[in-house]
Amino acid sequence: MVREERRQRPPRPVPTPKKFWIHVAIFLVVNAGLITLNLVRSPDKYWFHWVLLGWGAGLLLNAYRVFGCGWAKGCKVDSTSQPATTDAMK
């Protein structure tokens, strides 16, 4: 029954660069506001860096999925792309 449910699900949407750059813009605007809020309301205690760290990690994973060889694309390393060694290198 689980296999049948998997077959009936629609495929996951492919991440696009446009969506990524929208994510970056939202990240910058929201975090600028949070930094300002933190520095104005409680300048003796910094907490904004935790938000930057957590959301930044998610943003990096998103960038990897969009621009890198992410798990959403199903990329595999090609063994023929490795540089060939010569006798002079040994």
Each residue of 59-88: pLDDT tens digit? 999 998 888 865 555 665 554 544 444 555
Neighbours of 38 (CB within 10 A): 16
The pTM for the full model equals 0.64
The Cα 33–Cα 54 span in angstroms is 16
Each residue of 21-65: pLDDT tens digit? 999 999 999 999 999 999 999 999 999 999 999 999 999 999 988
Percent of the chain that is helix, strand, coil (3-state, to 5): 65, 0, 35
